[in-house]
Amino acid sequence: MAILGQEVPKEFDDIYAGITGLLERNKENPDTRALNAWLTVCKGLVEGLLQAAGAGAPMMYANLGNTPELIMALGDGKVVPLGFEALGGLQGWFGNNQHNMDVIDLVEASGLAADVCSADKLALGYMLKKLTPPPVGAVFVNTPCDNQMVAAGGVKALTGVETFIVDIPYNTGDREIRFVAGQLKDQIKYMERMTGKKLDWDRLKAICEESNRMVELLLEWSEWRKKTPCPQMSKIVTFGFIILNTLSGTSAGTWLASELLEDAKERVQAGKKAVPGEEKVRAVWFHDPIWWNLPFYDWMEEELGMVVPMDLFGYLTSEAYIDTSSSATILYSLARKLSRVMPMSRQFKGAAEVYIDDLISVVHEFRADCAIFAGHLGCKHAWGLIGLLKEALREADIPLLSFAYDMFDPRVTSEETLKEEFRRFTNDIMLPRKSR
Amino acid sequence: MNKQEILGIFQDALKKPLSAHLEQWISEGGKAVGHYCTLIPDEIFTAAGMAPYRIRGGGSEATDVADVYLSSHLCTFARHTANLALEGQFDFLSGIVGANGCDQARRAYDVWKNKTKVPFRMIISVPRRPDENSIGWYKEELQSLIAALEMHFSIKIAVEDLRKAVQLHNAIRRNLAALNGLRKAANPPIAGAEAVAVAIAAQVMPPESYNKLLEELLNALRDSQGMNKYRVRLIVSGGEMDEPEFVKAIEDQGGLVVYEDTCFGGRYYEELVSEDGDPLTRIAERYFYRMPCARTDDSFPRRYENLKKQMKEFGAKGIVVQRINHCILNAGHSFLFSQKAKEDGTPILIIDREYLAHGYGQVKTRVQAFIESIESRS
C-alpha cells in the first residue's frame, strides 16, 4: 500500500482510506462542513506523520493529557509532537476496528492486564508491532489517571528511551500550579537534552499566541452549541480533547476551530439543526466517547432525536488562555492548562466533587435534559465516583444514563446492547418525563 | 508466652477492624487515626499521641454497600475497605487520612469523606517523582497534616514528640528487620504466612504494646525449631498484600515465602528514619526516597534490582508477582515483570487475584505448576 508514494503497512492504509473515503463521500454535503474540516486536519496529520517518519524527523511522544506548545518551540520547530495514542484513535474513528482488536489481543498476550485502559493498550500494542515511529523522547503528564504511569513505564521498556513525567498534584490551586510550572522547566531541560535543540522562547510566544487564537474560536464555538436546537452534529465535540492535545499552537488547529465556529453560526442562521426531526432530548455526555463507533452518534440523532451539545472532551474553560507577557507567565499558564483545563485531567485528578460540579454546571449551561456517564472500563477514577454522582444528580433532578463499555473495543459491550440502553432511557425515562 | 501464643495475638489482630489491643487503647482514652498508604508517616500520628492505623479489609465479607459508590470496576481492596467504612466498622477511628496513592484509593477516600462519620478527614498529595525538586512539596504536605491535626484535636505536636516517635518506629522497624533476617536461614524459625501476619499487625496495633510483643516473639524464636519441609523458596511481590492466608496458600503447595516486596511488607519496615537533625525532614526523606512502589515514576528498575538482591540474600528461586484485579499501577509493573522474565529468565509467576477471595483454588494450582517448573530447571 502506498500513501504519498510511500509504502505503508495496512494499518495506516486503512486509516487513510477511511479518511479520504469519508471526505470524498461528504464533499458535496452541506451538513458536514465541520466534520469535513476535522477529516481534512486528520488527513494532514497522517500525511505529516508519514512524511516526518520517512524523513527521519525527531519525534517526541506526548500522552493525551499533554499539549504540544513546548515541543513545537524546540530549536527550528522540526521536532514532531506525536500523541502516542494517535494510531489507535485514528484507527477507531476512521480505520478498521479489527486492527485495534488485534493489537489489544497482542498486548494482552504480551503480559499487559486486560483492565488497563484500551487507549494505552493500543498505544503500547502499536509500539510492540513497531508501527509507531520511534521517539527521541517522551513527555507525559500523570493525568488523568493511573494508566498514564503504566504507559510511561511501557514506553521506556519498549523503546529504551528515557521518559519525563509532569506530576500534577491532587488539588489545583495556585501553589499546585506553581509546582507544575517548576516541573515544566525541568521538562524543557529534558527535551533539550534528548533532542539537542534549545527551546526558542520567541517561537514559544508565537505558538502560544496561535494557541490562544484557537482557544478564542473554540470558546465562541462552544457558545453557539448552546443554542436550542443544537445546530451541529454530536460527534464533532468528542474531538475537542484531541484538538487541544494535538493542534494547540498550530495554524491547522486555528483553521479547524474557525471552521467549527463558522459552520455553527451558519447553521443557526439558516435554522439548521443536528437532528433530522424534532430535537427530543439534549444530553451532556460527560465521559469518554464511543470511539470505535462514531456512526453511533448519527443513529442517536436520527432514531432517538437525541443530541449532545457538549461532552467532557469538548468542554473548555477560559483558563486555556496563555498569558504570553513573560516566560514565567507562559509556563504558569501552560501548567494551569495541564492541571485545570485539559479534559479529564481537570475533572478526575482530584476530589469527586470537581467532576460532579462540572457536569451539573455543563448540563445547566447547555440547557440539557439529562446526563450520560459512558463508563469506559479503564477509567477507575471515573467509576469510583459513580455513587456520589448518582446521588448528586438525583438531588439536582438530572436523569442519568450510565453504562459500562470500552471506548476502543467493540467486543466489551456491543453496538446493539448500547442502542438498547439508549432506546430504553429515551423512551421509558426521558420522553415520559418531558411530556409531564 | 511462647511463639504460638504471641503469633496468635498478632493473627487475631488481623481478623476484624478493631483488635483487642486497639480496643483497650481506645477504652483508656487513646485515639486512633486511619490512613490508606505507606507514604503517610506513622510517626506523625504517634507524635500526636494517637495510634496510627493502616486501613485494611480484614473481617470484611462483602462489598455490596461500597459497590453502590465505587462500582464493581474498582479493585476489591478499595471496595472492601470502603464497605467496612460504610458499615460503620471503622467508627472507632478519630480520623482518616488519604493520599493520592492511586486513583482507586482516592475514590475510596471520597467515600469516607462524604459518607462516614469519622470526624477528622484529610488527603495529602504525594509527588510521584522522588527527586530533590519534589521533596520540599512532600514535606509541606506533612506540615499541613500536622497543622490540621493540631487544629482539629487542639494539640501541639512538638519537635521532641516527633523525635520520640521516630525512635519508637525505628525500633519496630529494626525488630521487624531482625525477624525478617531469620528467614534467610536454611531452616527459618517462622513461616512466611506467620511473618506476614506479624508485619501487618504492626500497622493496626498501638505501636508501643506491639513492639513489646514483637521483642518477646524474637526471644521466643531463638528456641524455635526451623522449617525444613518445603520445596522452593519464593518472594512475593506486588502492591497491597495483607492476607497471610494468601501466603499460606503458596506455602501449602511447598513454596516457602521468605520475603515480601509489598506495601504491608518490606516497604513498610525497611529503611530507617535518620535520628539526626530535624525529625520532620528526616521522616520526609525516608518515606519519599524509600524503595518505591508502582505509583512512583520509573520505579520498576530500582524495585527489580532490589528483588534480585533479595533473591540472592534469601536464597529464593522465584518471584510470585500478585496483583489485585483492576489495580492499574501494578498492571504496569506486572507487564514490566513479564518483559524482564523473558529477558533474563528469572522465574516469575504473575497472578491476578481478588482481595480476600479465600480458598485460592486458582492460586494453588498455578503455584504448584510454578514450583514444578522451578524444580525442573535445577
pLDDT under 50 in chain B at which residues?
Answer: none
State how far residue A421 is from chain B, nearest Cα, in angstroms.
18
State how far residue A222 is from chain B, nearest Cα, in angstroms.
30
pLDDT tops 70 at residue A1: no
pLDDT in tens, A389-436: 999 999 999 999 999 999 999 999 999 999 999 999 999 999 999 998
pLDDT in tens, A265-324: 999 999 999 999 999 999 999 999 999 999 999 999 999 999 999 999 999 999 999 999
- Among the partner-chain residues A111, A146, A378, the one whose CB lies closest to the CB of B334 is A111
A378: contact with B, CB 8 A cutoff: yes
Cβ contact A146–B328 (<8 Å): yes
B70 within some domain = yes
- Residues of A within 8 A of B106 (CB-CB) are 170, 381, 384
Domain of B112, CATH number, reads 3.40.50.11890
Cβ contact B70–A163 (<8 Å): no
B152 within some domain = yes
What's the CA gap between B150 and A186, in Å, rounded? 35
- Between 1.50.10.20, 3.30.70.141, 3.40.50.11890, 3.40.640.10, what CATH number should domain A2-14+58-201 receive? 3.40.50.11890
Tell me the pTM: 0.97
- Residues of B within 8 A of A375 (CB-CB) are 71, 73
B126 within some domain = yes
Residue appearing with cell numbers 487515626? B33
| Overall average pLDDT of the A261-267 stretch | 98
B86 within some domain = yes
State how far residue A322 is from chain B, nearest Cα, in angstroms.
25
What's the CA gap between B152 and B240, in Å, rounded? 30
ipTM score for this prediction:
0.96
| Overall average pLDDT of the A137-155 stretch | 96
DSSP letters of A208-262?
HHHHHHHHHHHHHHHHHTTSSS--S-SGGGGGHHHHHHHHTTSHHHHHHHHHHHH
B108 within some domain = yes
Cβ contact B102–A116 (<8 Å): no
Buried b (16+ CB within 10 A) or exposed e, A215-241: bbbbbebbebbebebbbbbbbbbbbbb
What's the CA gap between A311 and B291, in Å, rounded? 41
| Overall average pLDDT of the A324-335 stretch | 98
B201 within some domain = no
Q: Which of residues 301-360 of A touch B (CB under 8 A)?
A: 348, 351-352
Cβ contact B128–A183 (<8 Å): no
Q: Which of residues 116-135 of A touch B (CB under 8 A)?
A: 116-117, 124
pLDDT tops 70 at residue A25: yes
Q: Which domain holds residue B127?
A: 19-159
Q: What is the pLDDT of residue B223?
A: 81
Give me the phi and psi of B134, to 5 degrees please: -105, -15
- Residues of A within 8 A of B328 (CB-CB) are 115-117, 145-147, 149-150, 378, 380
Q: Where are the domains of chain A?
A: 2-14+58-201, 203-434
Q: How many domains are contained in chain B?
A: 1
B24 within some domain = yes
**Average pLDDT over chain A, rounded to an integer:** 97
Which CATH topology does A203-434 take?
A: Rossmann fold (3.40.50)
Buried b (16+ CB within 10 A) or exposed e, B246-279: bbbbbbebbbbbbbbbbbbbbbbbbbbbeeeeeb
- Among the partner-chain residues B107, B329, B334, the one whose CB lies closest to the CB of A381 is B107
